[in-house]
Chains A and B, each alone.
Chain A
Amino acid sequence: MRTIKTIVVDDEVLGRSRVKKLLEEIDPVQLIGEGRNGDEAIELIIAYRPDLVFLDVEMPDRNGFQVLERIPESERPFIIFVTAHDRFALKAFDVQAVDFLHKP
């Protein structure tokens, strides 16, 4: 079975833990890294070329949308935005996110 290389980015440890815990139950998912802010997200995406990124919207220094602006469209993995705020939902689909995960 093909694995899905996945990265989780969230500035809160508990936020990352929650997503990681959920992903453990899904076989094809292979967690290859985790980031704490927007800059780390960019580095990880460029370095590891993941298939899927769970990306927090509100983060220090650079938010989730700003992260995507720095990744060329051709190199963008599938993105699932993770946020507690509904107001980001429409914008998430504008930038072709595949899904939107609501916290908690």
Chain B
Amino acid sequence: MFKRLPVPFIFILAAGFVLGSLMVLETVIPYLYWGELEEFVWHRSALPHFINYMFWPFLVPWIYVVSSRYQIGKGASMSDRLATVFFSLLIPFAHEFFTTLIYFSLLASLNIFYFQPDTWELIQAAFPGVFIGRIVEFWIIYGLFAAFDYYKKYKDKQAELGRIEAQLNRTKLEVLKMQLQPHFLFNALNTISSLMDIDVKKAQQVTARLGDLLRGILEHDSRVFVTLEEELGYVRTYLEIEHVRFEDRLSYRFEIEEGISGHQVPLLIVQTLVENAIKHGVAMVSRPVTILVKAFREGSVLVVQVKDDGKGCDAEQVDVFSKGIVLQNTRGRLKEQYKGQASMKVDCQPGKGFEVILRIPKQPLL
């Protein structure tokens, strides 16, 4: 039964000893202060306190059993409440009974005091007062356990919520991967198929790069977060494949500040923005378009910018584009993973392209 206690029994015993000693000190100090220590009757003033507090630890496991087994809070049954009230009387009574027995036995064994005919009457007279004291002590200990139990349930619930949230994020990531797969695969396979007729070596290179990318993202990477360096590695491979498809119509540039490669970012967060820029910025325009991927640090925040110089949009269209699936997903992921500490800004001007700026704190707040 002791094993079930939330704290080791030895600590409870030590707490009883400390409290008992403090009570003894409290009774001794006035005598010390007035220099009347010789008048201090230790077995009358100090010993009962000490026995009282040293005996509680042996009843604490029972109180813990009562607090765990019977509920008294909102929604508790009447039988549970009655059982708790019953034990809140029984345990203090048992405490008083045994400590009285121990007290008088000790006094007798030390030849200090013997049970007299009128002692029983003295005990009866003192009983109501001390019994109420024991009941109060019972509820204090019970309250400590209830508080601990509440705290433990709160922590368990938090941990459970964390697990559910992490699972949700992993599921969303899987959905994201599945969204990436078909569209990109169609185009990449089409590129390879077309290359087979005119440049077999290049077709082999693209196949290898596609294999690298899919192996990395779909097979090996079940993480929710990766370093910026790993994420940009995926983006580079993706752009290399798309460059073969669009040739001169697509060029790209990376401007990455030194020393930020280890910053954690959500997996595929930059890749999806680049894919979006290709879909709306490059594929929809005949002239050559450049995609710029820029990353730098502002204090402890990582700023990532994905910009294209495609046909852009007017002020009214910014809202419409911002509500596209990719940008909405990105905004949602940042909100969940960084609890509002991360942000996404969309800027778009006619003829000047489309720009998305992410601000990502150092640590996710899952």
Residues of chain A having any CB pair with chain B under 8 Å: 11-15, 17-18, 21, 36-37, 58, 60-61, 84-85, 103-104
Q: List 11 A-B contacts (CB under 8 A).
A: A11-B283, A15-B194, A21-B198, A37-B286, A60-B283, A60-B284, A61-B284, A103-B190, A104-B186, A104-B190, A104-B192
Whether the Cβ atoms of A14 and B191 lie closer than 8 Å is: yes
Which of B88-96, B99-107, B244-252 forms contacts with chain A? B244-252
Chain A residues with CB below 8 A from B18, complex form:
none
Structural contact, A61 and B190, CB atoms closer than 8 A: no
Q: A14-B191, A14-B245, A15-B190 are in contact. Are A21 and B197 (CB under 8 A)?
A: yes
Contacts of B285 in A (CB 8 A): 60-61
Chain B residues with a Cβ under 8 A of chain A:
186-187, 189-195, 197-198, 244-247, 249, 283-286
* A14 to B, closest residue via Cβ: B194
Measured in the bound complex, the distance between the Cα atoms of B195 and A60 in whole Å is 22
- Measured between C-beta atoms, what is the minimum distance from B275 to chain A in Å? 15
Closest to A40 in B: B286
Min Cβ gap A100→B in Å is 15
Contact between B286 and A18, CB atoms less than 8 A apart: no
Which chain A positions have C-beta within 8 A of B247?
13-14
Q: Is the CB–CB distance between A17 and B197 below 8 Å?
A: yes
A12 touches B246 (CB 8 A): yes
- CB contacts (< 8 Å) of B194 on chain A: these are 12, 14-15, 17-18, 104
B193 touches A12 (CB 8 A): no
A45 to chain B, nearest CB (A): 17
Quote the shortest CB–CB distance from B29 to chain A (angstroms): 89
Distance between Cα atoms of A17 and B196 in the complex (Å):
10
Q: Which residues of A contact B245 (CB under 8 A)?
A: 12, 14
A61 to B207, CA, bound (A): 30
Q: Which A residues lie within 8 Å of B186 (CB)?
A: 84-85, 103-104
Question: Is the beta-carbon distance between B244 and A14 smaller than 8 angstroms?
Answer: yes
In the assembled complex, the Cα of A84 lies from the Cα of B182 at a distance in Å of 11
User: With a CB–CB cut-off of 8 A, which chain A residues contact B193?
Assistant: 18, 103-104
A84-B286 CB under 8 A given contacts A17-B197, A21-B197: no
Identity of the chain A residue whose Cβ is nearest the Cβ of B202 in the assembled complex:
A14
Residues of chain A within 8 A (CB-CB) of B187 are 84
Could you tell me the distance in whole angstroms from the C-beta of A13 to the nearest C-beta in chain B?
Answer: 5
Residues of A within 8 Å of B283, CB to CB, are 11, 58, 60
Shortest C-beta distance, A12 to chain B (Å), equals 6
CB-defined contacts of B192 to chain A, threshold 8 Å: 104
In whole Å, how far is A64's beta carbon from the nearest beta carbon of chain B? Answer: 14
A84 touches B190 (CB 8 A): yes
Q: How far is the CB of A19 from chain B (nearest CB, A)?
A: 9
